């Protein structure tokens, strides 16, 4: 599976923006507070049938800390684990997520997940995570199931390993 081509070159990148909510306390089962926005960008590298994925969380590029996989039900799993070199993200004492995971629904229009550590609350081993959820913007929803839908190719690439 490949992404659509434009003029014989690589396909134009496609981004899906997710509006997110996060729980106000660890261990809560519902998310009610505004969370950091998540933007996923899918690109096709010229000469490669395998797309790549980039991620921005709260406006910051977290692609270098991004892991992508597929679970047993063929749903995409995204994980971000920011290590010591990402400490600059906490300089303002903000609530940036240092460790989080999102499991996208089969249609990729929604996700549920967990935030394990933030700048303000790095947590500790065994601490319950914050509940995190997101909903894709209407642009992505409109492409699902069309010939321009990047999702099948991204899933295929994720099955082969982290596409980045």
CATH code, domain with 43: 2.40.128
Q: Which residue has the tokens 């940036």?
A: 96
| Res 41: pLDDT | 86
Residue 162 resides in a domain: no
Residue 1 resides in a domain: no
Residue 5 has pLDDT above 60, yes or no: no
Give backbone dihedrals phi and psi of 140, rounded to 5 degrees, phi first.
Answer: -65, -45
Number of structural domains found in the chain: 1
Q: Three-class SS of residue 83?
A: coil
Tell me the average pLDDT across 102-122: 90
Residue 33 resides in a domain: yes
72 band by pLDDT with thresholds 50, 70 and 90: confident
In terms of pLDDT, which residue wins out, 91 or 118?
A: 118
Owning domain of residue 94: 14-156
How far apart CA 65 and CA 49 sit, in angstroms, is 23
Residue 161 resides in a domain: no
Write the DSSP symbol of residue 120: S
Residue 34 resides in a domain: yes
């Amino acid at each position: 599976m490949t992404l659509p081509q434009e003029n014989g070159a690589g396909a134009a990148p496609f981004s899906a923006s997710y509006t997110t909510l996060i729980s106000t306390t660890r261990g809560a089962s519902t998310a009610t507070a505004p969370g950091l926005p998540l933007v996923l960008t899918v690109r096709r590298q010229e000469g490669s049938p395998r797309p790549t994925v980039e991620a921005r969380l709260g406006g910051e590029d977290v692609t270098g800390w991004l892991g992508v996989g597929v679970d047993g039900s063929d749903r995409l799993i995204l994980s971000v684990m920011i290590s010591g070199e990402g400490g600059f993200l906490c300089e303002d004492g903000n609530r940036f997520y240092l460790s989080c995971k999102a499991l996208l629904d089969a249609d990729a229009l929604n996700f549920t997940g967990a935030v394990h550590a933030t700048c303000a609350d790095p947590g500790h081993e065994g601490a319950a995570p914050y509940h995190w959820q997101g909903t894709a913007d209407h642009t992505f929803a409109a492409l699902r199931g069309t010939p321009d839908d990047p999702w099948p190719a991204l899933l295929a690439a994720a099955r082969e390993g982290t596409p980045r």
